[in-house]
A = this chain, B = another copy of it.
């Protein structure tokens, strides 16, 4: 099924409204999910809508949050998201960061008591229209083992930076700090294929190429995988994300991050509140003239696109480029949904009386 982006956004917003979220915020939340689908990040788009609805049903997401700044300096803030949707709290935090950057040059906001915020790029990219560099981090439900461990201790904890350019699209780096994302394992599993050694270990810590190992207690490996390929660096990067997002904000960290799936309960005696994010905005002109920066960004991008290729037919891909291309295409041609997602949306449609 291929569906028009605006129609899908309206449906998504209506579902959120049917759950009791006000129109403004429902549209804000829907925008994040549809943007993921437009950008080709299908795992983080409407495929997750029912997941959010289930969390609302279990009162693990607050539909009427009173998000509040609980700590502040001229260039920083800590935001209590009051257990609202992360899709909204991260935007709210980013707007605060942008305002602070206007005053001070940069703004940084740590967010506690939140939920999964969708794609990091959405939030980081909010800075771009202000000629600012955007940054967004979040921790996530534990699925990844630290080096030498067979325990799920870290999420796929993404790092995203968005840099404005001139004639080129912005440079948007958005990456999970695990070697492979969960979604890639699901795709391999559906196709009956194996996955490369180094993506995952089984519950006993043994290497496996079976993508279903994750469902039977297996664990993802950090970027770099094992010792010989510097997996400790992926662990280190994930640690940075966890500490900035949660230890600094007052959210849960490490193994305590609440699961996204509503059928798993958060573990008890949590050290923090909800999930944590960390967002920042940096005015380009707090460092150098905007047009100079953009000209050099263009030169950077052009230079890397022209780098000598290993295979003449496979170009160097500038981070973010494929997503901009997908967005252009899908904005016109519509968003392709696989049958499992369509079933999921149809069942939400029936349950909440919202036509798809």
Does A239 contact B171, Cβ atoms closer than 8 Å?
yes
Q: How far is the CB of A136 from chain B (nearest CB, A)?
A: 13
Distance in angstroms between the alpha carbons of A253 and B288 in the assembled complex: 15
A293 at the interface (CB under 8 A from B): yes
Q: How far is the CB of A229 from chain B (nearest CB, A)?
A: 6
Distance in angstroms between the alpha carbons of A253 and B253 in the assembled complex: 36
Q: How far is the CB of A221 from chain B (nearest CB, A)?
A: 10
Given contacts A106-B106, A179-B224, A224-B224, contact A316 B242 (CB under 8 A): no
Partner of A105, one of B74, B198, B239, B272: B74
Given contacts A148-B311, A240-B161, contact A106 B103 (CB under 8 A): no
Please report which residues of chain A, range 253-293, place their CB below 8 angstroms from some CB of chain B when the two chains form the complex: 253-255, 271-272, 282-284, 286-288, 292-293
Distance in angstroms between the alpha carbons of A239 and B321 in the assembled complex: 14
Does A319 contact B271, Cβ atoms closer than 8 Å?
no
Does A153 contact B76, Cβ atoms closer than 8 Å?
no
Distance in angstroms between the alpha carbons of A316 and B247 in the assembled complex: 20
Q: How far is the CB of A276 from chain B (nearest CB, A)?
A: 11
Q: Which residue of B lies closest to A254 (CB)?
A: B303
Distance in angstroms between the alpha carbons of A283 and B179 in the assembled complex: 32
Please report which residues of chain A, range 210-245, place their CB below 8 angstroms from some CB of chain B when the two chains form the complex: 223-225, 228-230, 232-237, 239-240, 242-244
A65 at the interface (CB under 8 A from B): no
A304 proximity list for chain B (CB < 8 A): 146, 153, 239, 254
Does A308 contact B150, Cβ atoms closer than 8 Å?
yes
A350 at the interface (CB under 8 A from B): no
Please report which residues of chain A, range 157-200, place their CB below 8 angstroms from some CB of chain B when the two chains form the complex: 159, 161, 163, 171, 173-177, 179-180, 196, 198-199
Given contacts A303-B255, A304-B146, A317-B147, contact A229 B75 (CB under 8 A): no
A108 at the interface (CB under 8 A from B): yes
Does A249 contact B309, Cβ atoms closer than 8 Å?
no
Distance in angstroms between the alpha carbons of A103 and B199 in the assembled complex: 45
Q: How far is the CB of A132 from chain B (nearest CB, A)?
A: 12
A308 proximity list for chain B (CB < 8 A): 149-151
A253 proximity list for chain B (CB < 8 A): 296, 300
Partner of A173, one of B150, B173, B240, B283: B240
Distance in angstroms between the alpha carbons of A317 and B146 in the assembled complex: 9
A293 proximity list for chain B (CB < 8 A): 247-248
A332 proximity list for chain B (CB < 8 A): none
Q: How far is the CB of A264 from chain B (nearest CB, A)?
A: 19
Given contacts A148-B315, A149-B307, A250-B292, 11 further A-B contacts (CB under 8 A): A73-B286, A75-B286, A76-B287, A133-B248, A147-B316, A161-B243, A173-B239, A174-B236, A243-B297, A254-B300, A271-B299
Residues of A within 8 A of B (CB): 71, 73-76, 78, 103-106, 108, 110, 133, 145-151, 153, 159, 161, 163, 171, 173-177, 179-180, 196, 198-199, 201, 205, 223-225, 228-230, 232-237, 239-240, 242-244, 247-250, 253-255, 271-272, 282-284, 286-288, 292-293, 296-297, 299-300, 303-304, 307-311, 314-317, 319
